[in-house]
């Protein structure tokens, strides 16, 4: 049942609860550089919470950030950084953006991956000749030469390419803890050192190929993981682009002065020229204008604002200069509040723990115990230290989590490749996993269910001559209605030439003189002298030609052509569908009826959208939010999963898990279907990785596997999960019922 927004959906208390429960504690965001797995989350949070004065600490593994709430009288930022350093983690206070640093780290991994791949290919060429018997009849000097060439290629490559694992392992050991990189580094180091020792002795038990191949495949997994992390950085960082950095302040003596927006205080008066962003929340004291506040309401049509009207930072003054009296500081504006809502929602998302991360907590100690037991067992059996160490190295290599690490990324690459071909860009590292779990879809209206731009609704009632004359005025304006008039005229094939000497009457419309009289295009009151029809409220312009004939041009934000079909398909599959919009109830009800959505809310502000989603989540729903405006960005981040159209604001595209192209909504159905298939195939890949360990680990412990065979088996397991993932690219998929097991 449709309804306007009521108190439970937008309480001020809910917003305050999301931003912070008390004013006295301080919150700082720390960038923690060397977090890699689920075990790191618990270690970092434990180290922070043990620090005196810390009230709460939450870690976002995707963004590698920790949000810490603390009592400033008992501790400070440096004490928190020192606590993390004691746990083996490098941290620093977060600045405005870490995107460039993250991109450089991904590029660094890619370079190391290239070096490792080149070295692995060349070492394998030499090794195949030796191990396949091609040099069995040659002089032993030739075989020794091949081993030394392998050493010259592999050792420098390993020293460079494996540095990410070595540094991570060294940091963990320095802090007296274990992580996944410790056994990996140990296996690479032992295999390389053992191979060099055997090369010096002139024996054939050389495994440079195993060491470099291990490094290569591990770097593939690490790079894929880092690459998707770069795509999922904190969306709140982009809000700086929506802020007015400076403001024109009117001083007491009437003079004006440019000041930074952060220096504004309540009571100051600010001049805002037409076309400028309003720098602070306030109310208009001089002038009347139109305000583009789509970032708050999502509505693309400007709102008329007169003295006394409230305005918000980040909105755009469109038609006339005004003077605004500030009612908030720069840090307390609605725009700043949206940024805080975004950060709070992203921290909640960071608690999503995947199966691979949970398995990683037990991986490192188990591998070390198994490797040590293998070495000790064979020593007791009298095999000698060289043989025992060789078997232990094989165990460390064969238990490498490469297949486990690739299980999810390999499927994600196949899925994102398929979706890209369908016009969908997946951005979040774990977005597909969460998309597969949704059972409720919440749509925004403007720009999502609708196209986000007005179109001429009664064009069939308007003659070509009238439309062409109106367009000759409209072409001189950037108002959304004017653009719609020009577009309608051109689509009809009419020649649109700008009328001479068009003048704009602020707040009223456009006028131009012709040989027969004056042409006018604007508000009903200005054109006809009457406002009984409420043109400003019903979405219309009026045109008066040179003979005084008046024509109403009515507009609507047209619904996307396949919106009703997509909503019907979602309902048929068992998904609950709702509509949350900041627009007026009468407008929202019409769109909801056209799309076939019975459950809708109107007049919803950004905090209200979060409150609505939280209400659904409290009822056990997993919500997919589909929206496009800045006002949707906090809700996109707070929802279980989120999708945004390519026409959306940059901040919304950044917050969303996926972005779809084009005017159709059908890509949403494809995205959900692919996400559910991705989850199924990820589980299959986990099964492959587990089966590989069940088969090969006992063989390695029993001494039936050399380090080279271990590296080959590890490689085959990686190839197996990758090949399984590639099946997703061409499979025929249908939208599975909501809640069905995958």
Nearest CA-CA partner of 312 in 352, 280, 289, 339: 280
Compute the distance between CA of residue 607 and CA of residue 341 in angstroms, rounded to an integer: 8
Task: Give strand pairing partners of 70.
Answer: 26, 54
Compute the distance between CA of residue 305 and CA of residue 282 in angstroms, rounded to an integer: 12
592: left (phi over 0), alpha (psi -120 to 50) or beta: alpha
Pairing mode of beta strands 503-505, 509-513: antiparallel
φ, ψ (nearest 5 deg) of residue 524:
-60, -45
Please provide the distance, in angstroms rounded to a whole number, between the alpha carbons at the two ends of the chain. Answer: 32
**607 part of the active site:** no
**Residues 291, 231: contact at Cβ < 8 Å?**
no
**Residues 542, 553: contact at Cβ < 8 Å?**
yes
Q: Which two tokens stand for residue 324?
A: 């605004």
User: How many Cβ atoms from other residues are within 10 Å of residue 543's Cβ?
Assistant: 25
**Contacts of 590 by beta carbon, 8 Å cutoff, 6+ apart:** none
Compute the distance between CA of residue 96 and CA of residue 76 in angstroms, rounded to an integer: 20
Task: Please state at what angle helix 707-726 crosses helix 208-230, rounded to 10 degrees.
Answer: 30
Task: Give strand pairing partners of 550.
Answer: 544
Task: Give strand pairing partners of 250.
Answer: 256, 269
Nearest CA-CA partner of 319 in 541, 187, 479, 476: 479
Pairing mode of beta strands 246-250, 269-272: antiparallel
User: How many Cβ atoms from other residues are within 10 Å of residue 76's Cβ?
Assistant: 15
For the four alpha carbons of 224, 225, 227 and 228, in that order, the dihedral sign comes to: positive
272: left (phi over 0), alpha (psi -120 to 50) or beta: beta
Q: Which two tokens stand for residue 122?
A: 């060349």
Nearest CA-CA partner of 291 in 324, 317, 256: 317
Burial of 280 by CB count in 10 Å (0-12 exposed, 13-18 middle, 19+ buried)? Answer: buried
Catalytic residue among 102, 444, 583, 607: 444
**Residues 112, 123: contact at Cβ < 8 Å?**
no
Q: How far is CA 515 from CA 267, 399, 471, in A?
A: 51, 88, 18
Compute the distance between CA of residue 613 and CA of residue 574 in angstroms, rounded to an integer: 19
Compute the distance between CA of residue 322 and CA of residue 274 in angstroms, rounded to an integer: 8
**Residues 101, 226: contact at Cβ < 8 Å?**
no
Q: What is the DSSP letter of 176?
A: T
User: How many Cβ atoms from other residues are within 10 Å of residue 415's Cβ?
Assistant: 26
User: How many Cβ atoms from other residues are within 10 Å of residue 98's Cβ?
Assistant: 20
Compute the distance between CA of residue 540 and CA of residue 446 in angstroms, rounded to an integer: 18
Q: Which residues are catalytic?
A: 444
């Amino acid at each position: 049942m449709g309804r306007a927004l009521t108190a439970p959906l937008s309480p001020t208390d809910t917003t305050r609860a999301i931003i912070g429960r008390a004013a006295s504690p301080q919150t700082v965001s720390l960038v923690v550089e060397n977090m890699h797995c689920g075990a790191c989350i618990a270690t970092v949070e434990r180290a922070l919470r043990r620090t005196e004065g810390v009230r709460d600490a939450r870690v976002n593994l995707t963004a590698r950030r920790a949000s810490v709430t603390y009592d400033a009288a008992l501790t400070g930022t440096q004490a928190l950084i020192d606590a993390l350093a004691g746990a083996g983690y490098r941290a620093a206070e977060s600045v405005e953006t870490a995107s460039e640093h993250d991109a450089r780290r991904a590029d660094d991994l890619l370079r190391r991956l290239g070096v490792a791949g080149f070295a692995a290919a060349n070492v394998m060429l030499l090794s195949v000749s030796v191990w396949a018997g091609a040099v069995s009849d040659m002089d032993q000097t030739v075989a020794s030469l091949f081993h030394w060439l392998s050493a010259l290629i592999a050792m420098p490559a390993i020293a460079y390419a494996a540095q990410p694992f070595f540094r991570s392992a060294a940091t963990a050991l320095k802090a007296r803890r274990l992580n996944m990189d410790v056994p990996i580094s140990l296996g690479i180091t032992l295999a390389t050192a053992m191979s060099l020792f055997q090369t010096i002795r002139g024996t054939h038990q050389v495994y440079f190929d195993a060491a470099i191949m291990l490094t290569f495949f591990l770097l593939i997994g690490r790079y894929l993981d880092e690459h998707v992390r770069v795509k999922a950085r904190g969306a709140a960082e982009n809000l700086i682009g929506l802020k007015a950095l400076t403001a024109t302040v009117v001083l007491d003596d009437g003079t004006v002065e440019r000041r930074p927006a952060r220096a504004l205080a309540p009571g100051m008066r600010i001049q805002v020229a037409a076309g400028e962003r309003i720098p602070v929340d306030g109310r208009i004291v001089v002038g009347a204008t139109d305000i583009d506040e789509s970032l708050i309401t999502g509505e693309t049509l400007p709102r008329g604002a007169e003295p006394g009207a409230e305005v918000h930072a980040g909105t755009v003054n469109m038609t006339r200069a005004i003077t605004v009296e500030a009612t908030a500081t720069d840090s307390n504006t609605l725009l700043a509040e949206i940024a805080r809502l975004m950060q709070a929602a992203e921290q909640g998302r960071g608690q999503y723990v995947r199966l691979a991360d949970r398995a990683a907590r037990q991986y490192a100690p188990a591998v070390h115990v198994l490797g040590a037991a293998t070495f000790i067992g064979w020593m007791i059996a009298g095999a000698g230290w060289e043989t025992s160490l060789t078997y232990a190295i094989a165990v460390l290599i064969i238990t490498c989590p490469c297949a486990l690490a690739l299980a999810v990324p390999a499927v994600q690459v196949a899925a994102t490749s398929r979706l890209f071909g369908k016009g969908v860009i997946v951005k979040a590292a774990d977005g597909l996993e969460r998309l597969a779990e949704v059972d409720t879809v919440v749509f925004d209206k403007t720009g999502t269910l609708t196209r986000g731009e007005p179109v001429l609704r009664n064009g069939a009632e308007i003659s070509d001559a009238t439309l062409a004359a109106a367009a000759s005025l409209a072409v001189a304006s950037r108002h959304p209605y004017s653009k719609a008039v020009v577009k309608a005229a051109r689509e009809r094939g009419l020649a649109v030439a700008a009328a001479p000497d068009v003048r704009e009457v602020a707040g009223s419309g456009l006028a131009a003189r012709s040989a027969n009289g004056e042409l006018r295009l604007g508000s009903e009151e200005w054109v006809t002298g009457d406002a009984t029809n409420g043109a400003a409220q019903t979405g219309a312009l009026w045109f008066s030609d040179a003979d005084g004939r008046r024509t109403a041009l009515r507009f609507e934000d047209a619904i996307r052509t396949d919106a009703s079909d997509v909503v019907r398909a979602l309902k048929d599959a068992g998904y609950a569908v709702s509509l949350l919009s900041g627009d007026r109830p009468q407008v929202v009800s019409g769109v909801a009826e056209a799309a076939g959505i019975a459950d809708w809310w109107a007049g919803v502000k950004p905090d209200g959208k979060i409150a609505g989603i939280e209400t659904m989540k409290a009822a056990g729903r997993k919500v997919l939010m589909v929206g496009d405006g800045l006002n949707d960005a906090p809700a996109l981040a707070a929802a279980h999963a989120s999708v945004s159209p390519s026409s959306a604001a940059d901040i919304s595209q950044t917050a969303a898990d996926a972005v779809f192209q084009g005017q159709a909504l059908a890509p949403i159905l494809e995205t959900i279907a692919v996400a559910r298939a991705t989850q199924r195939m990820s589980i299959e890949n986990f099964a492959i990785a587990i089966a590989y360990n069940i088969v090969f680990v006992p063989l390695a412990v029993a001494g039936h596997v050399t380090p080279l065979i271990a590296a080959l088996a590890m490689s085959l397991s990686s190839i197996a999960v990758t090949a399984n993932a590639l099946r997703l690219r061409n499979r025929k998929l249908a939208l599975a019922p909501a809640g069905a097991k995958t």
